[in-house]
């Protein structure tokens, strides 16, 4: 009885801390004066097709391998093994990719590895001429190792250590960074509360990385329906944002997703996102893998549409 009471008090205190932090983040006093000055800008491109179709809200739901890039604590929701591969087709030939794999090690601990990157080519001119002198490659990638641990069935924590490489024309830089996360599920899968701190670290040039705090909530009244919401608050540069979305599975075969993100200082028409998902369950003795295909449309009234596709496997 005493142990159960202590667990209840712990969950209650963590819930109060979470709600107070969300309140503080959701109504910031001012915008950081160094907005837009951080390095490794590719880290600001959120990875994951399913999360982006729901408006970029996933920190509280965090229930598949995509959580590698949102909240490392969510990996404890993975039962066996999962992998994913995503391609983001954006404007101006700026494309990004993400690959993730996660595997449960034991009843309490889950391991994951993730890669995300974006590269493009820009024209280089020594003098103002019509024809460029050369093409310069710019972009970067990050690869990381993640461990998540289930403290009790309702509370999980996780962390990621990652190597970051940035290339700007002929200049290269390296850095190390980390992510920390926590997930609370006080009512099982019905309610999820998540929080993560991402990209805390530096490049060897001394430049700051886009360190960000995410706080999210999910509500799953039915196995087929999830409603999600996130608040993102960059600690170094850029603007805070609010995200919301939902997902509904029809007969556990086809999913419809829609969401909206609101970024301070941006065109209000840029926020709407939509997407679909398709599942196929492998039932033969030779193919015991569940495959999922995801698509997301992320429009922008200013620069055009971005299309994301991904495959996800569970085995």
Domains of the chain: 40-125+132-314 (2.40.160.60)
H-run or E-run covering 93:
none
Of 272, 276, 280, 279, the residue nearest 298 (C-alpha): 272
Q: How far apart are CA 30 and CA 213, in angstroms?
A: 16
Q: Are 80 and 101 in contact (CB under 8 A)?
A: no
Q: How far apart are CA 189 and CA 61, in angstroms?
A: 9
Q: Are 195 and 212 in contact (CB under 8 A)?
A: no
Q: How far apart are CA 137 and CA 121, in angstroms?
A: 4
Q: How many residues can be counted in the chain?
A: 315
User: What average pLDDT does range 17-29 have in this prediction?
Assistant: 41
Q: What is the pTM of this model?
A: 0.83
**For residue 75, what is the DSSP state?**
G
Q: Are 152 and 76 in contact (CB under 8 A)?
A: no
Q: How far apart are CA 246 and CA 267, in angstroms?
A: 22
- Encode pLDDT of 179-220 as tens digits: 999 999 999 999 999 999 999 998 888 888 899 999 999 999
What rounded mean pLDDT belongs to the chain? 84
Instruction: Write out the two tokens for 300.
Output: 């922008």
Q: Are 136 and 124 in contact (CB under 8 A)?
A: yes
What is the C-alpha radius of gyration for the chain, rounded to an integer number of angstroms?
20
- Encode pLDDT of 207-265 as tens digits: 888 999 999 999 999 999 999 999 999 998 778 999 999 999 999 999 999 999 988 65
Of 25, 83, 34, 27, the residue nearest 59 (C-alpha): 25
Q: Are 227 and 246 in contact (CB under 8 A)?
A: yes
**pLDDT attached to residue 45:** 87
Instruction: Write out the two tokens for 251.
Output: 């007969």
Q: How far apart are CA 113 and CA 147, in angstroms?
A: 9
**pLDDT attached to residue 26:** 42
Of 269, 261, 211, 260, the residue nearest 235 (C-alpha): 211
Report how far apart, in Å, the C-alpha atoms of 40 and of each of 63, 77, 158, 205, 303 are.
Answer: 27, 30, 23, 11, 21
């Amino acid at each position: 009885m005493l142990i159960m009471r202590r667990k209840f008090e712990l969950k209650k205190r963590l819930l109060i801390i979470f709600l107070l932090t969300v309140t503080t983040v959701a109504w910031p006093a001012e915008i950081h004066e160094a907005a837009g000055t951080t390095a490794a800008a590719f880290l600001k491109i959120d990875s994951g097709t399913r999360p982006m179709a729901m408006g970029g809200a996933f920190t509280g739901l965090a229930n598949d391998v995509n959580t590698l890039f949102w909240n490392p604590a969510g990996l404890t929701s993975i039962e066996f093994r999962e992998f994913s591969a995503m391609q983001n087709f954006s404007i101006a030939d700026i494309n990004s990719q993400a690959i993730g794999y996660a595997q449960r090690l034991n009843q309490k601990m889950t391991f994951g590895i993730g890669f995300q990157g974006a590269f493009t080519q820009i024209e280089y001119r020594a003098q103002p001429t019509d024809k460029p002198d050369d093409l310069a490659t710019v972009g970067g990638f990050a690869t990381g190792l993640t461990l998540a641990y289930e403290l009790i069935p309702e509370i999980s924590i996780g962390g990621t250590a990652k190597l970051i490489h940035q290339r700007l024309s002929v200049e290269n830089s390296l850095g190390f960074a980390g992510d920390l996360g926590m997930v609370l599920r006080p009512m099982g899968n019905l309610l999820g509360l998540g929080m993560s701190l991402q990209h805390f670290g530096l490049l060897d040039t001394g430049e700051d990385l886009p360190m960000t705090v995410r706080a999210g909530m999910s509500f799953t009244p039915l196995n087929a329906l999830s409603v999600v919401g996130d608040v993102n608050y960059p600690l170094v540069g850029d603007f805070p944002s609010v995200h919301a979305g939902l997902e509904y599975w029809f007969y556990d075969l086809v999913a419809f997703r829609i969401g909206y993100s609101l970024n301070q200082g941006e065109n209000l028409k840029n926020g709407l996102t939509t997407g679909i998902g398709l599942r196929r369950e492998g039932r033969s003795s030779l193919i015991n893998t569940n495959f999922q295909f995801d698509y997301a449309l992320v429009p922008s009234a200013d620069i055009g549409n971005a299309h994301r596709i991904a495959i996800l496997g569970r085995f």
